[in-house]
């Protein structure tokens, strides 16, 4: 029996991707937004969608503990969805305080991260309680007590620290700046914080035509479900591939020129325009904690635009962090709430580009 020469590329419905902006401890907003997503998106599509949370789950709002409980429950409640939980700058600082950041790969101490910003210690009131000697800079800033209590940029009082971390402490039943938080945070919450990714890529799929058994060894276990076996000429079996999805599925986005098939990169604040993408990708995937300030999680103007090398190959870059809703071509910034009680929490749904908010009224 001869080997078939090939099969047509399979077709499948365009996958729905939901990118959800910064939650910042507002559990009731998260509940309402999730309910609206379920109502507004076609049920079969929602049940199999890719859900990307863009980071900053803690601080400012009153219910960080409930927010984390909700997020942790999603994979078991919606087993056919794919969930991605990005790390925001607030989440990194929370993780630093409770001791779940990976150690610097170069063997240096976290105290080395203090040096670049020591001139800010008095003004920001860095944490000096139990365990501070072995804490990353951002953990000390997060649990500190800022000297000037008024946040001029937001026109309101700081909530404990420069990160507004006071409500997070309170949601776990301890006062701001207390080392008791480390004991109060459940292990599953610590694991959630430790597992947050600093960057996520969705890349183009390649459906390859039929191959004979001679090349199967070149592919990893992700292709195993595509192997088929059939009787050979001299007994036994031959093995071939009908089709192989080497990479992940496309992400599609509707544009004035039509639907585009794109790679998608999700990162909390953005990518530095003046640094090479591969260099940034390596650092973010490895969670390089020898860096005092991770620009991709906390930068502003320097991470606003898409790096030029990514503009050449249809790459969506989606972020939260910036306190506004901004969509310009393939650059998506979804943070309408900004952690402020008066503002909504929003999500963007691809490929349509539909914006859904917690305050939307649905039938």
Question: How would you write the pLDDT of the chain (363 residues) with one tens digit per residue?
Answer: 444 445 445 556 789 999 999 999 999 999 999 999 999 999 999 999 999 999 999 999 999 999 999 999 999 999 999 999 999 999 999 999 999 999 999 999 999 999 999 999 999 999 999 999 999 999 999 999 999 989 888 889 999 999 999 999 999 999 999 999 999 999 999 999 999 999 999 976 555 444 444 433 443 433 334 444 444 545 554 444 444 444 545 899 999 999 999 999 999 999 999 999 999 999 999 999 999 999 999 999 999 999 999 999 899 999 999 999 999 999 999 999 999 999 999 999 999 999 999 999 876
30: three-class secondary structure by DSSP? helix
Residue ranges of domains in the chain, CATH in brackets: 17-100+186-203+251-357 (3.60.21.10), 207-245 (no CATH)
Predicted local confidence at residue 203, as pLDDT: 79
Longest dimension (CA), the chain: 83
Q: With beta carbons less than 8 A apart as the criterion, state whether 245 and 275 touch.
A: no
The CA dihedral of 169, 170, 175, 181, to the nearest 10 degrees, is -40
Predicted model pTM? 0.86
Alpha-carbon span 212 to 150, nearest angstrom: 69
207: three-class secondary structure by DSSP? strand
The torsion angles phi and psi of 259, rounded to 5 degrees, stand at -80, 130
Q: Which residues are catalytic?
A: 90
Q: Show the tokens assigned to 232.
A: 């050979």
Predicted local confidence at residue 363, as pLDDT: 61
The torsion angles phi and psi of 208, rounded to 5 degrees, stand at -90, 150
Q: Show the tokens assigned to 49.
A: 């969608």
117: three-class secondary structure by DSSP? helix
15: three-class secondary structure by DSSP? coil
DSSP symbol at 318:
E
Q: With beta carbons less than 8 A apart as the criterion, state whether 196 and 294 touch.
A: no
Predicted local confidence at residue 235, as pLDDT: 53
State the distance between the two ends of the chain, measured CA to CA, in whole angstroms: 59
DSSP symbol at 148:
S
Q: Show the tokens assigned to 169.
A: 């402490």
The torsion angles phi and psi of 76, rounded to 5 degrees, stand at -80, -30
């Amino acid at each position: 029996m001869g080997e078939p020469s090939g099969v047509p590329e399979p077709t499948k419905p365009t996958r729905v991707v939901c990118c959800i902006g910064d939650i910042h401890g507002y559990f009731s907003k998260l509940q309402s937004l999730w309910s609206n997503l379920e109502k507004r998106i076609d049920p079969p599509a929602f049940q199999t969608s890719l859900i990307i949370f863009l980071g900053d789950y803690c601080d400012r709002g009153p219910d960080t503990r409930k927010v984390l409980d909700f997020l942790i429950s999603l994979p078991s409640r919606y087993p056919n969805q794919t969930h991605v939980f990005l790390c925001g700058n607030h989440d990194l600082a929370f993780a630093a305080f409770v001791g779940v950041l990976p150690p610097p790969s170069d063997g240096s101490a976290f105290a080395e991260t203090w040096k670049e910003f020591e001139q800010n210690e008095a003004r920001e009131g860095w944490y000096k309680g139990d365990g501070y000697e072995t804490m990353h800079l951002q953990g000390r800033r997060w649990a500190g007590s800022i000297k000037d209590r008024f946040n001029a940029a937001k026109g309101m009082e700081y909530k404990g620290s420069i990160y507004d971390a006071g409500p997070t402490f309170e949601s776990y039943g301890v006062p701001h700046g207390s080392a008791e938080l480390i004991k109060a945070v459940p292990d599953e919450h610590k694991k959630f914080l430790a597992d947050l990714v600093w960057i996520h890529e969705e890349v183009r799929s390649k459906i390859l035509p039929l191959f004979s058994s001679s090349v199967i060894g070149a592919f990893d276990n992700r292709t195993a479900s595509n192997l088929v076996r059939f009787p050979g000429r001299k007994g036994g079996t031959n093995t071939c591939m009908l089709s192989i999805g080497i990479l992940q599925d496309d992400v599609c986005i509707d544009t004035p020129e039509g639907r585009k098939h794109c790679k998608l990169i999700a990162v909390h604040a953005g990518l530095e325009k003046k640094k090479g993408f591969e260099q940034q990708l390596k650092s973010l995937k490895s969670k390089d904690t020898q860096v005092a300030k991770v620009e991709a999680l906390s930068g502003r103007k320097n991470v606003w635009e898409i790096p030029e090398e990514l503009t050449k190959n249809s790459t969506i870059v989606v972020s939260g962090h910036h306190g506004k809703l901004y969509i310009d071509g393939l650059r998506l910034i979804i943070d309408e709430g900004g952690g402020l009680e008066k503002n909504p929490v929003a999500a963007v749904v691809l490929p349509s580009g539909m914006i859904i908010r917690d305050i939307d009224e649905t039938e």
